[in-house]
Amino acid sequence: MANVAVVGAQWGDEGKGKIVDWLSERADMVVRFQGGHNAGHTLVIDGKTYKLSLLPSGVVRGKPSIIGNGVVVDPWALLDEIKRVGDQGIEITPKVLKLADNAALILPLHRRLDQARETAAGSGQIGTTGRGIGPAYEDKVARRALRVCDLADDATIAYKVERMLAHHNALYRGMGQPEVNGAELIAQIKEIAPKILPYAAPVWEIMADARRDRSRILFEGAQGAMLDVDHGTYPYVTSSNTVSGQAAAGSGIGPGAVGYVLGITKAYTTRVGSGPFPTELTDSIGQLLGERGHEFGTVTGRKRRCGWFDAVMVRQATKVGGITGIALTKLDVLDTLTELKVCVAYELNGARINRFPSGMGQQAAVKPIFETMTGWNCSTRGARSWAQLPAEAIKYIRRIEELIETPVALLSTSPERDDTILVRDPFLD
């Protein structure tokens, strides 16, 4: 049986929560490997909605769940989420949840810097969630981050806070803002430490044991391929690698253990925040997609921008991310449309191109070349077999497969987990 990595193949918000939950029932362990509490995964189980950010989706089903070293962790946000899920009847103990002891922490000064920068940027804002993710990754790469294991050592806390403040306070002075008080920050850290340390563990060792025991591991990604810090619409991206290659590095296991890569893809396209969006619809159709798809960010509540399916972008995501098959979600959102369009190529400076360029100016300048298809104009919501789908819907799916050069492994027709058509079981591939 293969381990499975679930990643977004667009700009995030593709419906990973439902798919991960559907797969987690078949998995022995679920692992988050990048991002932070800027992620938003919504699970609907027996009519009850769970909204997760840091916690792996497996916790809702009591599966061993791991927050890997590739994640940046806000300890206050983590405890708040544990309490919130606990209030819904899901008890999360250190037996169920393990936190990599070498994961970097998000501190209050990271949140403050993130928000100050966005405010100062004015119209040039990137569109971050303001939760300190980017500044925390910056400190990690600059080798001054406070890590989970450091919470057990007062001397290390003092040393690292001093190093961080030498950098951060210079930035605050430059922006004309008050400096961070080191003593107050250290007091906050020491107060939270004993509440977090029970979850800390050498995750790489747990992963090695799981692989030795041939446990089925589900790697849960956040955001999407086009928000990848290297391969996305830079600089309008997140601060981590979101493609499947990060599953290994971000959890402490070899790349050969990742196995099947399932790319989650909406039947249309959405994006939250700033940045290029070639197939965006600002007309009544775009509004319709947003309303029918309930397109609001799980974490931020921000309205998502909507547009036609971009096959060029998704094909590129499948190549860069090594995606084996896709889970196509929200097909039912298109049910009322009599005509559909799919972007099959771009025009750039009068020439046709079949890739999404890397340059910021070129990304903003590409124009979509569309292929028009007939809609099915009837309900697909809740379909659980191909026989329940109209012929035009099947044609749409098959055309997407051709254009992105990747097969559909799963098809989702509503937020309910059982409204899923299984074409190929990723765990058995």
Residues annotated as catalytic are 13, 41
Spatial distance between the Cα atoms of 77 and 73, rounded to a whole number of angstroms: 8
> SS3 of 141, please?
helix
Mention every residue, 6+ apart, whose C-beta is less than 8 A from residue 141. Answer: none
DSSP H stretches of helix in 293-375 = 311-321, 360-365
Nearest 5°: the CA angle 356, 125, 135 is 95
**Which one, of 411, 368, 201, 400, lies nearest residue 277 by Cα?**
368
Spatial distance between the Cα atoms of 369 and 129, rounded to a whole number of angstroms: 32
Spatial distance between the Cα atoms of 287 and 306, rounded to a whole number of angstroms: 8
Query: Hey, how many other C-beta atoms are within 10 angstroms of the C-beta on 338?
Result: 9
Backbone angles phi, psi at 99, to 5 degrees: -115, 125
313, 226 in Cβ contact below 8 A? yes
- Which residues, listed in sequence order, are joined to residue 261 by a DSSP beta bridge? 5
Helix axis angle, 182-196 relative to 154-174, nearest 10°? 130
DSSP 262: E
- CA 99 centroid distance within chain: 18
Spatial distance between the Cα atoms of 330 and 28, rounded to a whole number of angstroms: 27
311, 373 in Cβ contact below 8 A? no
273, 34 in Cβ contact below 8 A? no
Amino acid at 196: I
52, 298 in Cβ contact below 8 A? no
Spatial distance between the Cα atoms of 251 and 219, rounded to a whole number of angstroms: 9
- CA 361 centroid distance within chain: 25
Sign of the C-alpha dihedral, residues 321, 323, 329, 333? positive
End-to-end CA gap in the chain: 7
